Amino acid sequence: MRLILIVSCFLSLFIPSLTASSPAGGYKIEVEIKHFQGDSLFLGYYFGKGQYLKDTALIDKGKFTFEGDDHLAPGVYLLVIPPDNKFIHVIISDDEQKFSLPGAWAVIYLLHTPVLIHLYC
């Protein structure tokens, strides 16, 4: 009887912490970019020495939304800007799978490299 009580106390203390630490399914990344003429944006990632596309977002009400059911692996991802496939690095952690880049963001080119800047207006 004492063993059952100890096991049940152990399970009631540690099982909720294990389920709370596991990440919720899916990801959702919203990006709002001003002064961008394109209608699509790509989310890419690195694997080895290559770069691969993970998701595509079409513009909807001025925003690009990347959304999926699978949890993204933590790491460096790319916001790929068509048509010349320049990209901006984004770091995605295990804890932050749902976030947005709202407001007055703009893409400018410095020496043919896209830079995402926040406009303070």
Calpha distance 46→69 (Å, rounded):
20
Predicted local distance difference test score (pLDDT) of residue 62:
79
Tell me what the mean pLDDT of segment 85-107 comes to: 77
What is the number of other CB atoms lying within 10 angstroms of the CB of residue 43? 23
| Extents of the domains making up the chain | 26-118
Q: Which CATH fold topology does 26-118 show?
A: Immunoglobulin-like (2.60.40)
Quote the pTM value: 0.65
How does pLDDT run across 11-66, given as a tens digit for each residue? 343 343 333 334 457 899 998 877 777 899 999 999 989 999 999 999 888 789 99
Which amino acid is residue 58, in one-letter code?
Answer: L
Count CB atoms within 10 A of the CB of residue 27: 21
Cα–Cα distance for residue pair 97/49, rounded to 1 Å? 24
CA-nearest of 101, 82, 32 to 62 is 32
CB 70 within 8 A of CB 80: no
